[in-house]
Structure 1
Amino acid sequence: MVTIKHNLPCILAAIVLVRASSFVRGIAPQKLDLYQPSKDKTWTCLDGSKVIPYSAVNDDYCDCADGSDEPGTSACPSAYFYCANEGHIPAYIKSYAVNDGVCDEACCDGSDENGDLISCPNRCKQVGEAYRKKQSSLKKSTKDGLQAKKQLIDEAQKQVALWEEDQIKIEDEIILKKSELLKLERELKSLESRSRTKKETKVPKCQSGALEVATLKHDIVILKKEIDVLKGILGDMKRDHNHNFHDMAVKSAISGYDEFVARFTRVEARIDDNLVNINIEETGDLEAEEPDQDEGEGEDEDEDDKDQDQDQGDDENATKESPLVEGKHSVVDMVLDKLDPILPSVLKNGLLGKFHSHKVVTDVKEDAPSNQQALENTRKLVAEAKDQLNDLSNNLERIKKDLSTDYGADKEWLKLKDVCVEKDEGEYTYSFCFFGDAYQKSNKDSSRTHLGKFAKFDGGDELYKVHVHDRGTRCWNGPERSVRASFECGVKNEIIDVSEPEKCEYHYRLLSPAVCKSVADAEKDTIENSANNRKPVHEEL
């Protein structure tokens, strides 16, 4: 008995709370404590602006400026009514839709109508089951779509890697092709100069030597650039490789690289010094003497014989005097000889092998059929080299454009480029090509109208969910046609529907795995959308 007496106040308070709560219509359970009466049976508006009798709550008269005293009636239009919707998802509707004689879809439990005008059945069980079934299907579709998106991203990354590899190869080929073209053009110029004279005369040694030196200097510059590229690659490998992974081949390459860098600095200094000496010798040769071309034919023949003997002597003397001239491509061979013992095998095989394989022999053989034939052959080789160089440059520009194009945050749209989908809408069949064109084709006469070409992404915070196509065929007495395509997650790429809300402005709704999110993110968006659903399904007129 004593225990009951001590607990009686608590029991009575709980009974009062339950009774009070049962009369607060339109309030969420977690907010019921805000609607309890004070000891003197009054209640304070939630914005604190006014104290009213507790009996004035939900009396169909708006007392509070914030409308908080009428959560269960339509007296305060700025307030919200809470629908419990047991068996489904709770929702809010505007208070002006309460007791208006219309069963709101958002309140499947029918609690928005008190029965004075209409009685609404409780449909939450059926609505909840349909919703959960739809969500289950959506969840599976999202999961499958996400897997398809992952495949798109994987394929895109492989494609980007191939483009980057091709870019490096083409840039190397362009350097070598330019060198080859430079040599051929010099040879062509020499042959054309000879063909303009009545009798072929030998190019003075000083001029031919200058041309040869210029060619060899150009080759050395290319060779040094190639070495710098490979040094950078090996330097990156040394810096970024996994030190915990004991790959002996990698360690050996890094060790060879370290030794090479230490030695190459000294060798490079000697090469640069030799190049400076070549410049000095080249200048001296050009100032030596100019050939006299005004002498008679007989004298020319004698002079030719003398020049040949003199050239042989000069060559022997030059060989003795300068270590830079030791054969046909003496400077290049000298550089290669210096690099050969210090280069690691990975550099030696890749760099020197490629350099040797691309060397072009530019000297005209003494036993060629004729100077004219040699001239024609050289012109053909120059034209072919220019065409090849032009093709390489075009390929390089195309690859650079592909690499710089925005294909989505993870390149998820890349493999969809030029993929097309279409939908028959009865009178017309609409087509849509990713990063391409959109068309409207008449099903009566098969005439086709261009609706626009891809211009940009325009989805705001979710940029890649909306594609804009513009510059379509101009409407008669109207603007150019355009398309605004909105994408939703789906396993396949397909058009859901097409509408024309404004003249010549077409709205496409499409499905694509490229916009799919993870299941967790999709569920989060669904919950946020449900929580933000505070508007009634219908609006009063």
Structure 2
Amino acid sequence: MKLLFSCSLLLFITAACLCGSAATRKLRGISSSYKRFYRERRSFLCIDGSRVIPFEQVNDDYCDCEDGSDEPGTSACPRGRFYCTNLGFRPHYIPSSRVNDGICDCCDASDEYNSHARCQNSCWNLGQRERAYVEGQMRTLDEGLQLKQQLIEEGVLLWREKQAQLRELQQVAEDLQIKLEEHRRRKQEVEQTLKALEAGDTRVRGKNSSESTFRLLDSNKDGSLSVEELQEKLVLVQEEELLLSEEEAVALMGGGRQMDLPMFQHSLWDVLNTENRVKIRGIVDAEDPHLKAADTAAEREASSLKKVEEAYDTINMEISDLRKKLTIDYGPDWEFLFLNSQCYQLNVYEYTYNLCPFNQVTQKSTAGSEVSLGRWGMWAGTPKNPYSQMVYENGEPCWQGGSRSTTVTLTCGTETALCGVKEPSKCQYIIDFQTPVACQPVLKQRGIHSEL
């Protein structure tokens, strides 16, 4: 009797143990959100609803459901997934083909429950490292957002300064335009006067000019011109300058041998100014104070006009350049404005990459040759964050055809610097560019995992 009781008790305990191990077996590889589908009952409905099977066939190492939901803890189903709980770290799914393959894919080693692999549970150490990394990222984000706010304030001030600078340049350009028109008018007047003087227009040159010429010819200053004085001072202009003969001098004096000022003004003066065959020895215009003054004035006006034109052109180029800069999209708060006129370098092997935001990207070899990798094109980020990428296009032609281009990816950082360059395809470059203005405020996450 005692023996029979002991055997019955032993069978009960054994059955209880087997039921416990079966329950554990049934629930292996299932996330907590899916456990409601695996409650022990007479039958099991495949999660995709395709088939009903006896519950004893769940995790029996034979695939009955098309979606593999009856074998979450074995490698029987090709489409199956095994859930790594990874307490202390991030939970995740692995393909069921990796279950019991001798390699621990879950940090808690739960995927190798029936293999020769002996893996240590590393979830806690991994979780600590990830928590430290996340905390560091959050500190970087907080510091970056503070720096970004400063750069936003600087950007607003800089934008206002550039607007004021544009207004000042426009006012200077208007003033120079008025000066330019005035200088052009004065230069034209002086040139007309000089032209008239050079043409010998007595209405312009005036009486004093004829008198000064008479005094120049009157060598002995006796108030009259003689044949000898004309021979001394005048020359005939043919292929070369020839001295006057006595007969030629007498003919110029109208047949007489003396000529006073009134006679000179009504006869010989017109000959000297309207005919090119007779002139005073040397350059007569150089002796004319009116002509000399007009020539000096013309040179002065031309020089002044040139200076005003150069200043006007320079101002207009500055206005054009400033307007071009002000048309660029620097972000909703002008936070990217500080990048304009700045350049950043990074050495990668034998190349030096140079990024000048909103201008161009270049690559310079150690040999000294420089290649354009693209000029500023546009922002090309996601709809939620359009300012996360820059595109630089139309660089120098690539030997395979087409032109070089560069995509600049902006990431959050406490400093503004180039962090990396890649060339995933020929002549197509990707640059990692860190800057505080790329930092975006985010909601505080609850943590790596609710069970941490």
The TM-score bracket by the shorter chain reads 0.5 to 0.7
Q: Does 1:390 align with 2:389?
A: no
Asked if the contact 2:80/2:95 (under 8 Å) is kept, the reply is yes
Residue 422 of structure 1 corresponds to: 346
Who is 1:116 aligned against?
115
Matched, 1:407 2:330: yes
Structure 2's unaligned 5+ residue stretches are: 1-18, 205-264, 267-291
C-alpha offsets along residues 451-487 of structure 1, whole Å, 9 cap, x if unaligned? 6244434444544434445666667778765544434
The 5-angstrom pairing of residues 62-211 of structure 1 reads: 62-104=63-105, 107-197=106-196, 198-199=201-202
The amino acid across from 2:345 in the alignment is V
Q: Shift of residue 17 of structure 1?
A: 12
Mapping of 1:309-324 within 5 angstroms?
A: none
> CA 1:84–1:149 in structure 2 vs 1: closer, same or farther (change >3 Å)?
same
Contact 2:25 2:59 in 1 (8 A): no
Query: Aligned in 2, Cα 1:111/1:497: closer, same or farther, shift over 3 Å?
Result: same
Q: Higher Cα Rg: structure 1 or 2?
A: 2
Take 1:28 and 1:146, find their aligned partners in 2: how far apart are those partners? 37
State the 1:448 CA deviation.
4.6
Q: Is the contact between residue 483 and residue 505 of structure 1 (CA under 8 Å) also seen in structure 2?
A: yes
TM-score when scaled to structure 2?
0.64
8 Å Cα contact 2:410/2:433 also seen in 1: yes
Residue by residue over 1:330-383, the C-alpha shift from the partner in whole angstroms, topping out at 9 and shown as x without a partner, is xxxxxxxxxxxxxxxxxxxxxxxxxxxxxxxxxxxxxxx955555554444433
1:78 deviation in Å? 2.9
The equivalent of 1:354 in structure 2 is none
CA contact (8 A) 1:142 1:490 kept: yes
1:8-47 deviation per Cα after TM superposition (whole angstroms, max 9, x unaligned):
xxxxxxxx99985772222211221122245xx1122222
Cα separation, partners in 2 of 1:68 and 1:373, compared to 1, 3 Å: same
> Does the 8 Å contact 2:374/2:404 carry over to 1?
no
Question: Partners of 2:50 and 2:27 in 1: how far apart?
Answer: 20
Higher relative contact order (CA 8 A, sep 6+): 1
Question: Paired residue for 1:450, among 371, 382, 387?
Answer: 371
Alignment map for 1:285-324 (pairs within 5 Å): none
Q: Secondary structure at the match of 2:64?
A: coil
> Matched residues in 1 for 2:123 and 2:395: separation?
48
Match of 2:253 in 1: none
Q: Could you tell me whether the CA contact under 8 Å between 1:454 and 1:467 is conserved in 2?
A: no
Query: Percentage identity across aligned positions?
Result: 30
Do 2:361 and 2:392's aligned partners in 1 also have CA atoms closer than 8 Å? yes
Aligned length: 340
Pair 1:42 & 2:39 matched: no
Kindly indicate whether the alpha-carbon contact (under 8 Å) linking 2:155 and 2:337 is maintained by their aligned counterparts in 1: yes
Summarize the alignment of residues 378-527 of structure 1 with structure 2, pairs less than 5 Å apart.
378-417=301-340, 418-423=342-347, 425=348, 427-435=349-357, 436-442=360-366, 447-450=368-371, 452-456=373-377, 457-461=379-383, 462-469=385-392, 483-518=406-441, 520=443, 523=445
Cα distance in 2 for partners of 1:174, 1:494 equals 38
For 2:22 and 2:59, the matched residues in 1 are separated by: 15
Q: 1:371 to 1:74 in 2, by over 3 A?
A: same
Distance 1:50 1:29 in 2: 23
Q: Provide the rounded CA distance (Å) in 1 between the counterparts of 2:308 and 2:59.
A: 91
For residues 20 and 180 of structure 2, the distance between their equivalents in structure 1, rounded to whole angstroms, comes to 96
> How many Å separate the matches in 2 of 1:451 and 1:371?
54
Amino acid at match of 1:465: S
On the 8 A contact 2:346/2:419 being kept in 1, the answer is no
Matches within 5 A, 1:229-378: 374-378=297-301
Specify the SS of the correspondent of 1:170. helix
8 Å CA contact retained: 1:439, 1:452? yes
| Alignment TM-score, normalising by the size of structure 1 | 0.54
The runs of 5 or more residues in structure 1 that have no matched partner are 1-15, 202-296, 299-368, 532-541
